[in-house]
Structure 1
Amino acid sequence: MKTQILRTGCALALLAAFGAAQAQVAGTWSVRVGGTHIKPQTRSENLTAPSFPNTKVDVGSASALTGGINYMLTDHWALDLPVGLPFKHSFYGDDAIAGVGKLGETKVVPATLFLQYRFGEANAALRPYVGLGVTYSKFFKNRSTAALSAITGGTPANPTTASIDNKFGLTPQVGLVWNFTDRMFLDVAYYKSFLKTTAHLSSGQSIGMRLNPDVVSVGIGWRF
């Protein structure tokens, strides 16, 4: 009986060790949930005529509940797909119209697919990584304020509205995975999206914006 118990214990220990070694090997899937903060680094062009000189805009930060799906192609290379709720950004007057306040808001879904390289051994507790992704930013539910109408000739009966071009951009990334159990991990990442888009107003005017947001994401995940 003791021999059988010893054999069973050894077998379970080997299985546990094998499971730990399989932490991030080829073919492993993982999911995570957490939050992401996006801070645009806005460089606005001037609003096209007719407008005051140096009429520009700034874009506010936004946070949302997010997560992600990851697949290990090899022990080091992975595909990563962040997912989450839309981000809501507000637009404000800047430069010559800095005092007018909020001009409008939009929701955006930044859909990104990353190719990542993870350093260290597959069963390491800490694995830093770098990634490069392609982001497609889809803007929707654009809303404008009375302040926007006031500076563009709109009226309460015919307010100025806006639409924003959907765009692709490159997104480099750095991050760290902390595997605090065989299955569970903490994922922390910073990335920079290089994004330029244009807002078109119903008044016939337009304004180009280089957003280039800084992005910080944190998630708790499960590997299977």
Structure 2
Amino acid sequence: MLSIALPIASVAQTEGSIFVTTGWFHFAPQDSSSPLKITSVGGSPVDITVPNTGAGVSSSDTIGFTVGYFVTDHIAGEFEFGVPPKFDVSGTGSLASFGTLGSVKQWSPTLLFKYFFLASQARFRPYVGIGVTRTSFSDGKITNAAFEARGLGGPTSVEASTVWAPVFNIGFTYAFSDHWFAGFSVSYIPMSTTGTFTTQSQTPVGTLTRRTEAKVSLDPIVTYLRVGYRF
């Protein structure tokens, strides 16, 4: 009965339709962190946990893009990507006094499959989706000199592991005309990454390479407000 009451668009979202969108992504990590763990000193493996330490990740915004195709009147595949957002990383626990520790950029192209409800001619169409993302990180750096010197013990480089994760998605589109439409979606991505800090630590016996790790659960909620064109 709901589909009867809704206005009708003159061009349907039917099998074979291709569409593109652009809009605004907002990433809101629901983050938590394990304590820092020193894993090697001077090439020798160690296992030293630094209690009451950790890291948190800020929210971020960026421009996003989508290319999609309706496989049937109700099932569409979409490829989402965007300009890599930049996140600030802050200390938690005993590291909270340092404030912002550094920053990192995230690359997370995503493939989604969505099921659209209601008739293909309906202007308003809610959907649910599921997909997968491959998330990698670049340009990681320590920006807090005090943390680098006192917290880590010397000049430090940073990297984070690449991860694959599922994506759970809900949203809707609304057609304004034959070709133009807008949409809004919310995604949840359960994921974590391991950050590795490689420090050239100054010691009484000289400079030793020290590696420290922390596992950070990100679990972001991602919203996407967009406008699109259907061919």
TM-score normalised to structure 1 length: 0.86
Equivalent position of 2:229 in the other structure: 222
Distance 1:28 1:110 in 2: 25
Q: Is 1:211 aligned to residue 210 of structure 2?
A: no
Aligned partner of 2:33 among 24, 44, 69: 44
What secondary structure is seen at the aligned counterpart in 1 of 2:36?
Answer: coil
Equivalent position of 1:85 in the other structure: 83
Ranges in structure 1 where 5+ consecutive residues have no aligned partner = 1-19
Equivalent residue letter for 1:109: W
1:95 is displaced (CA, Å) by: 1.7
State whether residues 51 and 152 of structure 1, in contact with CA within 8 Å, keep that contact through their aligned partners in structure 2.
no
Hey, which of these two has a bigger chunk of strand by percent? 2
Distance 1:184 1:148 in 2: 50
Ranges in structure 2 where 5+ consecutive residues have no aligned partner = 1-8, 39-47, 199-209
Q: Is 1:162 aligned to residue 161 of structure 2?
A: no
Structure 1 residues 204, 180: CA separation in 2 closer, same or farther (over 3 Å shift)?
Answer: same
Equivalent position of 2:124 in the other structure: 126
What secondary structure is seen at the aligned counterpart in 1 of 2:147?
Answer: helix
Distance 1:101 1:147 in 2: 10
Distance 1:208 1:182 in 2: 48
1:21 is displaced (CA, Å) by: 5.1
Distance 2:146 2:106 in 1: 22
Hey, which of these two has a bigger chunk of helix by percent? 1
Equivalent position of 1:31 in the other structure: 20
1:97 is displaced (CA, Å) by: 1.4
TM-score normalised to structure 2 length: 0.84
Equivalent position of 1:149 in the other structure: 148
Equivalent residue letter for 2:215: G
Larger Rg: 1
Distance 1:220 1:214 in 2: 20
Equivalent position of 1:174 in the other structure: 170
The alignment of Structure 1 onto Structure 2 pairs a total of residues equal to 203
Distance 2:183 2:152 in 1: 48
- Percent sequence identity over matched residues? 31
What RMSD in Å do the two structures reach over aligned CA positions?
1.6
